[in-house]
Amino acid sequence: MTKGQFGIAGRAYTASSVPPKRLANSPALWLRRTALCLALLLTASVIGYLANVAAQIERQSTVDEAQPADVIIVLGAAEYRGKPSPVLQARLNHALKLYLQDLAPYVMTTGGAGGDPNFTEGEVGRDYLVEHGVPSESIITEKGSTTAQSLEAAAETMHRMNLSSCIVVSDGYHIYRVKRLLQAQKIKVYGSPRPGSLDVRDQRWLYWKQAAGFALWQAGINI
């Protein structure tokens, strides 16, 4: 029998002629198949989780829960050289309406610079409300480079001022995640989407985007 061969009952095999069944049962192949199955299972679980959260976000986006609270929080949006974008203006107008209905004694505007060296979204929101009759002493301004940072600052201010409840004003698809972030800070939250926020085309990707952001927040990654 030559080197590299082995015999079984008078038969000889080379390493390259090992029966296919024996190769199929090799540990390496079994590990690869197991890893693939686990990866597919994990992917399916993540997609299922995100789909469930996206459905909850969609349901929340159509509900207006506005009622008496300690403060109205307006989530920031783009501003252009000190002037609110149409989206931010619509949010501010909705907050102004709620304030004039005496639903809260304070309005809090939030949002960072977003690349503008001269203005922040929160400051632009404050100036807009003052121009429309809200006393400056009734306006609180917070800023943060992300939604999570803005809300963390808002929660700290509320605790410091002994404010325990708020009405959150933003676009409908944004309300679910904002509520959960503030509720984690022991704050009672009522959502109130700005009028027209459901007119955005192809909302579904926004629900999934917010669901992904919520999942990252739960994992300790703030965006």
Higher pLDDT residue, 162 or 26? 162
DSSP state of 205: H
Residues 6+ away with beta carbon under 8 Å from 161: 140
Structural domain includes residue 213: no
Taking the alpha carbons at both ends of the chain, their separation in whole angstroms is: 68
Domain total of the chain: 1
Task: Indicate which CATH number applies to the domain containing 111.
Answer: 3.40.50.620
Distance (Å, whole) CA 40 – CA 35? 9
Q: How confident is the model at residue 201 (pLDDT cuts 50, 70, 90)?
A: low
- pLDDT by residue (tens digit) across 4-28? 444 444 455 454 555 555 555 677 7
Structural domain includes residue 161: yes
pLDDT (0 to 100) of residue 8: 46
CA-based nearest residue to 83, from 118, 107, 108, 58: 118
The domain of 171 spans: 63-201
- pLDDT by residue (tens digit) across 44-93? 877 887 888 888 888 888 899 999 999 999 999 989 988 999 999 999 99
88-125 CB burial, b ≥16 within 10 A, e <16: bbbbbbbbbbbbeeebbebbbbbbbeeebeebbbbbbb
